[in-house]
Chain A
Amino acid sequence: MKQIPAPLWTLTIGVAVTLLSLWYGQNHGLMPEQASEQAVLIDELFDSMVVMGTALFLVMEGAILYCMIQFRQRKGDETDGPAIEGNLPLEAFWTAIPTILVIGLGLYSFQVFQEIGGITPGHVAHDHGTMIAQADDTPLPGGLSESGKGPLIAENSVFGLGAPLENEDTAADLQVNVTGMQYAWIFTYPEGNIIDGELHVPIGADVQLNISAKDVIHSFWVPQFRLKQDAIPGKKTALRFIANKEGNYPVVCAELCGGYHGSMRTQVIVHSPEDYQAWHDKRVAQTPAVETIAKAPADLSAEEYLSPYSQEMGVNRDLIANLSLK
């Protein structure tokens, strides 16, 4: 009986692996729902890595399994295998292919990183007064070196995500200051003096979060937005996103910040524009403007700062009591 020629097997396996990988890349179901425009881009990157990864995984594990079965020692056979010590073309091949793959992946990931605003963070002023006095009209290479001028020295550098290159100078529709503290997130809306324990944003708006930390490092993460940025004492960081799906999503602290790190969770509420306006107007009406002007938040202890708002913010009173005991 004649054997099926090896190239035919290789072709069949290649087609099967490709189809399976492409299918799995679209149907892995590993990610939570997408709620921001940035999430769409990052998921496309992830899906393509899943396709590549699945194909490589199947080929490698298949080869290992095939070796284990086909090349096992047969009973009574104490001889050695063939004395093959290498094969230069083959070795060159399996060095070159991964090199091309990772460079391609690197370029693609750079493209996604640019589109989510990764290479132009902080072009919009952070605080009133301390503007970033840098020319913003420099093209990409200049933009890179400008930010690289010495982030460890420059006091005004902002790290994180800004707007993508093509509209890097556009101001965000909404700016919210985010403060991380053990073990809560405080959201301050500069327009209207709103302070809240939950983040409210309108759908479709270009939102910029100016992130800071009061005590230790925290990390602001919304899994449904696929975005994360550390809140670092003494550093300014920022995230910029456009929410594209109404709903409530968790805000999670991702950097170990102490014993109750795991309970440092709140939520972001993506409203329709009308609902957001209603919420905004209601909160502006509620806010006792005098109180916030009377004392700068920085001069208050965490407990003093929080207690007037604890009810509206949905922050647990016990947690604040715990904080003051420490």
Chain B
Amino acid sequence: MTQAELPTSAEVMAIPTTPPPHHPEKWKWYDYFTFNIDHKVIGIQYLVTSFIFYLIGGLMALAMRAELATPASDFLSPDLYNAFLTNHGTIMIFLWIVPASIGGFGNFLVPLMIGARDMAFPKLNALAFWVTVPAGMLIMGSFFFGGAQSGWTSYPPLSVVTANTAQSMWILAIVLAGTSSILGSLNFIVTIWKMRVPSMAWDQMPLFCWAMMATSILALVSTPVLAAGLTLLLFDINFGTSFFDPAKGGDVVMYQHLFWFYSHPAVYLMILPIFGIMSEVIPVHSRKPIFGYKAIAYSSLAICLVGLFVWVHHMFTSGTPPWMRIFFTISTLIVAVPTGVKIFSWVATMWGGKIRYNSAMLFAVGLLAMFVFGGLSGVTLGTAAFDLHVHDTYYVVGHFHYVLFGGSVFGLYAGLYHWYPKMTGRMLNEPLGKVHFILTFIGTNLTFLPMHQLGLQGMPRRVAMYDPQFQALNQLCTFGSIVLGISLLPFLANAIWSWSRGPQAADNPWDAKTLEWTTASPPIIENWEVLPVLTEGPYAYGEEPAEASANT
């Protein structure tokens, strides 16, 4: 608690503090493999680890697309195909997007953006990272037992009767990842609440921190419910209970409620931090203040609140009564409003600006372009009547890849290009970044756009074999996925090479206004020699520095 209370006394913070003597000047490479409590080290640990899992999950996707190049099941065994589809989803959600956006960017940026020396609970923070490591090992280890094969949703009874050992390992992995998420969320809420530099009012806080606040509240409320549901499932599998066994009075639909009460908000866990990244990247490279600061900040909270009451839209064809199908149609459609507000605000931020087309901005604009499409298809899915046709089809697969790949992953790339100089002290190579963007943009649309038509025409999701009439479109998707696979090569080469050989980055290479750019690149161990004092708002572009703060 002491660390949380520390910054409340402004005088203490104003005194230049030298790092405690037991800290080295600079972290060595091997410090990144230890139980280090520096939020920046933890942030990079999260980012690098999750990126490795992104590559693993991506290889699984490529194997599945190879299988789907032909209608017959001829490349993977059906069980292995199901293991890949289950763990592709699981890894991408629990071991890539969530840890990279919340753990990685959240940890690295939040203390720097609010002028804190670290997170409120540094040891808890390190613990939250290190429990994701056994979670990843359990997922990988489950393949020795066939891998969990019942989809990332793991609906009973299928999950109870299929690959019991692997399914149990999968449950333990998710519970560990969920624990990490709960610990991290608690840390973010306390840090943002209590550790802002005294000169920073709530409405001077960078929007990324608002997004992290909303994300953390959402994770804190919803994750325990998933843990409860999965624990009951674990008992059903291993200890003979019958929570979800209808033959003994259990209820299979109950599991779906417990699962989706977390897992729909999980969608917002994966996109709210990305929205935060967008709100940072777009104004900097458009050279204009963010348009509608308050609307963006509050719409994050609105999404967080409404997002807790939309979960049944995943169950419109399940055992749900009419009033639920109607209520959740309306609540789902309403989420489009705060989301729309954000998108309009970003376009208005670009409007009249002087947009610099570096790789970070390209990925941000690419996200905007694709999220519009993914959002619109999401609205169609929200209506119960139409969802009866497209639920559990490739239309859904296309939709959520537009918002999770075109949205979250593009946002992660935008963030990586934007903050790489701050994290490593080196600039990335711009031409390689642009090649990476173009390949990714083409590959994403080639892979995921035809899926909408496949679903509408009648192809269900999660199938290893399909009706031959769908082959042409599937081959287009497979071709797109190969482009996506190739698109990673320039990025990997760029990131690895630039880390040691890239040109030195200045402290503030983008001429940005948020606090993380006021320290060295990479930041020194306790972030600043002297804590910064806010002289202007986080988005005070286009104004003379002498003028008053942006948000008064």
Contact = CB atoms under 8 A, between A and B. Distances in A.
Interface string A140-173: 0001110110011000010101000000000000
B379 A49 contact: yes
Contact of A85 (B82, B350, B376, B550): B550
A130 interface: no
Contacts of A110: 326, 329
Contact of A232 (B252, B350, B368): B252
Given A83-B289, A259-B78, A98 B385 contact: no
A291 interface: no
A262 B73 contact: yes
Contacts of A71: 286, 350-355
A45 B385 contact: yes
B368 A95 contact: no
Contacts of A90: 348
Given A91-B341, A217-B158, A81 B354 contact: yes
A53 B550 CA distance: 36
A204 interface: no
A68 B365 contact: yes
Nearest to A232: B319
Contacts of A221: 392-393, 458, 460
Interface stretch (A10-18, A184-192, A246-254): A246-254
Contacts of B337: 95, 98-99, 102
A129 interface: no
A60 B370 CA distance: 11
A102 B322 contact: no
Interface residues of A, number: 91
A144 B324 CA distance: 9
Contacts of B355: 67-68, 71-73
A265 interface: yes
A200 to B, nearest CB: 20
A159 B293 CA distance: 45
Contacts of B81: 259
A227 interface: yes
A255 to B, nearest CB: 6
A117 B371 CA distance: 33
B372 A57 contact: yes
Contact of A233 (B246, B317, B325): B246
A222 to B, nearest CB: 9
A25 to B, nearest CB: 12
Which of A67, A157, A237 is packed against the most chain B CB atoms within 10 Å?
Answer: A67
Contacts of A68: 350, 355, 365
B32 interface: no
Interface string B379-398: 11001111011011100000
Contacts of B330: 103, 106
Contact of A148 (B321, B336, B383, B541): B321
A64 B384 contact: no
A100 B289 CA distance: 29
Nearest to B251: A152
Interface in A113-151: 113, 116, 118-121, 143-145, 147-148, 151
A40 interface: no
A119 B326 contact: yes
B354 A79 contact: yes
Contact of B340 (A94, A105, A253): A94
A57 B354 contact: no
Given A32-B457, A99-B337, A259 B354 contact: no
Nearest to A59: B372
Contacts of A217: 155, 157-158, 252
A118 B288 contact: no
Contacts of A252: 458, 460
A90 B295 CA distance: 12
Contact of B162 (A86, A148, A258): A258
B481 interface: no
B329 to A, nearest CB: 6
B208 to A, nearest CB: 18
A118 to B, nearest CB: 6
Contact of B385 (A113, A253, A263): A113
A200 B114 CA distance: 67
6 contacts: A53-B379, A61-B372, A159-B319, A256-B150, A259-B149, A261-B82
Given A217-B158, A234-B247, A265-B467, 20 more contacts: A64-B372, A67-B347, A68-B350, A73-B356, A79-B287, A81-B542, A83-B542, A85-B292, A94-B344, A95-B340, A121-B322, A144-B326, A151-B324, A217-B155, A221-B393, A227-B388, A233-B252, A252-B460, A259-B79, A262-B460
